[in-house]
Amino acid sequence: MSQESMAEPPLLQPSKRSLPDFKQSIKLKYVKLGYHYLITHGILLFLTPLVAVVVAQISTFSLRDLTDLWEHLRYNLISVIVCSALLVFLSTVHFLTHPRSVYLVDFSCYKPEDARKCPRELFVDLSRGLGAFTDENIVFQRKILERSGLGDSTYFPEAVTRVPPNPCMAEARKEAELVMFGAIDELFAKTAVKPKDIGILVVNCSLFNPTPSLTAMIVNRYKLRGNVVSYNLGGMGCSAGLISIDLAKQLLQVHSNAYALVVSTENITLNWYFGNNRSMLVSNCLFRMGGAAILLSNRRSDRRRSKYRLVHTVRTHKGSDDKCFGCITQEEDSDGRVGVSLSKDLMGVAGDALKTNITTLGPLVLPMSEQLLFFGTLVGRKVLKMKIKPYIPDFKLAFEHFCIHAGGRAVLDELEKNLQLSEWHMEPSRMTLYRFGNTSSSSLWYELAYSEAKGRIRKGDRAWQIAFGSGFKCNSAVWKALRTIDPAKERNPWMDEIDRFPVEVPRVSSL
């Protein structure tokens, strides 16, 4: 790399590209919210040792003791009533405060055929050949690609790479069907679940919402039963995959003995930008073709064969703030061309939403030692007015695996620094960005699939998925591995090439 290129100014303002330093401000209300979630289920923490003591005491009874107790209860109506009332009360408390466990049976990620690969140089040539972009903006897109962290094997739909491009409704439907049906077909093959067994269907896709809906396309293709509970989520950004998981979780609390199919995808065909607004051109450079299908269950019989149990979901919405609401917007440029505009405030907004989310999540997942240190310094600063630095908990003590939305290299760099994560922790996100690009809401599943393909998932491990998207939203999901994942038995998009990863991704990869 030449000295001239090293001296070039950044593409966007540095002050806008940095996440806020989490050490400088921790909002107490979000800490309280996290503890509120914890205390909501605190009755179980109180009753569990009580029940254990009762069971231990009963286990010491002899047959004679049990006979005497029975004789006593037979002739003591008050004791019978009290015991019965206590049993009913404890049973009611248990069922009201103990939600059904939600298991992730398996998931699959769509891997397009090799013909859909679009190397970065080909991307630039296609952009130049369109004649829609100025020479300056061709250079701009090249620079974005060189610094993006994307490799040369990401995928585009046929309608985009065709000369000339053919962005139309028919091609958009074709892309949606390829991605969704490809992921679902593999998921059904892996789990041996029949389409008629699916009771809940949730699909999220932000920018493509046809009529009939994407959920209707799936119902029609797989002939799902007539009473399937279906939801189609649109316009909710890259974090919508975890919103779909949270929605499915809530529905599984209501519908007993049910399977929920969650499909997360995005559509490139109709959302390619053909204008010269630079804030909209960035999306062209980062977003790529991809999707994932996830099978959830609340059946106890599925626990043994499931991969993970859903432990927590935490959702944060900052849409009440105008700056947050408008930092990612689909709109027309000055020439009437539609695109997705990214504000220069995006990094700051993302950092604020992330800080809120992890501050709420902390009390739910951090070990007591970390919580005491954090709470002690917080009391010292807020109550005693002591001039001490706030303590930032070590989330590496709460999680073994991190799946951070592969939205772009800058975001991953800042999260690595602020959360004090190692290269090993960031590897799934960086390699997903390099190999598949930003696949929107499905990127988290390519990242988890990477950890599985590497043989890193052990029984009892905890994985943290965190993503953010337009609105502005930041959402988290925490999973606990129910078994050790054997990569030799896995089928996922990494398996035929996992030995080539990780690869070194330079700060600037010249074209």
Annotated catalytic residues are: 238, 317, 401, 405, 438
Task: Decide: 107 and 303 in contact? Cβ < 8 Å.
Answer: no
- Residue 371 and residue 355: Cα distance in Å, rounded? 16
- Residue 425 and residue 323: Cα distance in Å, rounded? 31
Structure tokens at 230: 């279906």
Contacting residues for 376 by C-beta, under 8 A, at least 6 apart = 391
Write b or e for each residue in 127-138: b if 16 or more Cβ atoms lie within 10 A of its Cβ, otherwise e: beeeeebeeebb
- Residue 281 and residue 339: Cα distance in Å, rounded? 8
98: amino acid identity, one letter: H
409: amino acid identity, one letter: R
Provide the CA 42 distance to its chain's centre, in angstroms. 26
- Residue 293 and residue 262: Cα distance in Å, rounded? 6
**Which helix (H) or strand (E) segment is 129 a member of?**
helix 120-130
Measuring CA to CA, which residue among 404, 490, 431 is closest to residue 455? 490
| Look-up of token digits 């296609």 | 126
Helix (H, G, I), strand (E, B) or coil at 472: coil
Residues in a beta bridge with 208: none
- Residue 432 and residue 430: Cα distance in Å, rounded? 5
| Cα Rg, the chain, nearest whole Å | 26
Per-position DSSP letters for 218-246, written without gaps between them: HHHHHT--TT-EEEEE-S--TTHHHHHHH
Distance (Å) of CA 336 to CA 128, 129, 238, 274, 275: 21, 21, 25, 10, 9
| Look-up of token digits 């029949």 | 194
- Residue 171 and residue 181: Cα distance in Å, rounded? 15
